[in-house]
A and B are shown apart, each in its own frame.
Chain A
Amino acid sequence: DTGVSQDPRHKITKRGQNVTFRCDPISEHNRLYWYRQTLGQGPEFLTYFQNEAQLEKSRLLSDRFSAERPKGSFSTLEIQRTEQGDSAMYLCASSFGLPGRDYGYTFGSGTRLTVV
């Protein structure tokens, strides 16, 4: 296992288009997280899955953002009707967690989105 994989590494899209990013977590990890990072800021938490259940989605930035993890393995993050303000690095992380405890997060290399 080579860690958390994200695809694509870079995406340039025109304003108004939909984009989808994929994240493949470490296979033994039951938790998967999506973050957004803008220039000069730390990562901002968006949503989180435990297995296939999306347990936290209130921090998704708008209803244009949605995430899925259909079989509890890979996950996708979709942004509909992209806006220039969506330009950022989108990071995925995975971890193994038990109730009340987690064992550290491994981040992927991110997908850099540029909306023109």
Chain B
Amino acid sequence: SQELEQSPQSLIVQEGKNLTINCTSSKTLYGLYWYKQKYGEGLIFLMMLQKGGEEKSHEKITAKLDEKKQQSSLHITASQPSHAGIYLCGASILGGGADGLTFGKGTHLIIQP
């Protein structure tokens, strides 16, 4: 089965600093999703990447997909307290969404003022 490993597991960053979270797959990535979760709440969709080399940005968050490395990275520029939470990457198991998503364990991000 496909496994996703996220690194780091947790991250404490001073407000205003940049940070990067990585997600590495054990198998070919057909689609890679990034979600944010506040403790005890549902998942908030951030971005979906479907092509190798694809890069998407939303506000201060940029995600890239390196298909050859079976890896995606999420980069936050000039972090703010609102960025705090758990970041989860999810991958389409079979492609086309036919079989749900496999998720990593998440990266806990804390922003220090």
Size category of the binding interface on chain B: 20 to 34
Query: Do residues B100 and A97 form an inter-chain contact, with CB atoms below 8 A?
Result: no
Query: Looking at the complex, which one of B41, B98, B99, B104 makes contact with A42 (CB distance below 8 Å)?
Result: B104
Q: Which interface residue of B31, B35, B101 has the most chain A CB atoms within 10 A?
A: B101
CB-defined contacts of A55 to chain B, threshold 8 Å: 98
A105 touches which of B4, B96, B101 (Cβ 8 Å): B101
Say yes or no for B105: interface residue by CB 8 A criterion: yes
Q: Is B52 an interface residue (CB 8 A)?
A: no
Is A45 part of the binding interface, using a Cβ–Cβ cutoff of 8 Å? yes
Cβ-based interface call for A82 (8 A): no
Which of B43, B92, B99 lies at the interface centre, i.e. has the most chain A CB atoms within 10 A of its CB?
Answer: B43
Q: How far is the CB of B9 from chain A (nearest CB, A)?
A: 9
**A110 with B33: CB separation less than 8 A:** no
Contact A104 B103 (CB under 8 A): no
List of B residues within 8 angstroms of A89 by Cβ: 40
Contact B45 A106 (CB under 8 A): yes
**Given that A42-B88, A102-B31, A102-B92 are contacting pairs, would A56 and B97 also be in contact in the complex, using a CB cutoff of 8 Å?**
no
Question: Main secondary structure on chain A at its contact with chain B?
Answer: strand
Is A100 at the interface (CB under 8 A from chain B)?
Answer: yes
Our pick among B42, B96, B102, B106 for the contact of A45 (Cβ within 8 Å) is B102
The size of the chain A interface, using a CB distance under 8 A, is 33
Q: Which residues of B contact A105 (CB under 8 A)?
A: 33, 45, 90, 97, 101
**B42/A97 in contact, CB under 8 A:** no
B48 at the interface (CB under 8 A from A): yes
A45 close to B105 (CB less than 8 A) = no
Tell me whether A99 is interfacial, beta carbon within 8 Å. yes
Residues of A within 8 A of B (CB): 4, 6, 31, 33, 35, 40-45, 48, 55-56, 59, 89, 91, 93, 95, 97-102, 104-110, 112
Given contacts A45-B101, A56-B99, A107-B45, 13 further A-B contacts (CB under 8 A): A31-B97, A33-B101, A41-B105, A42-B104, A42-B106, A43-B101, A48-B99, A48-B100, A95-B97, A104-B33, A104-B48, A105-B97, A106-B45
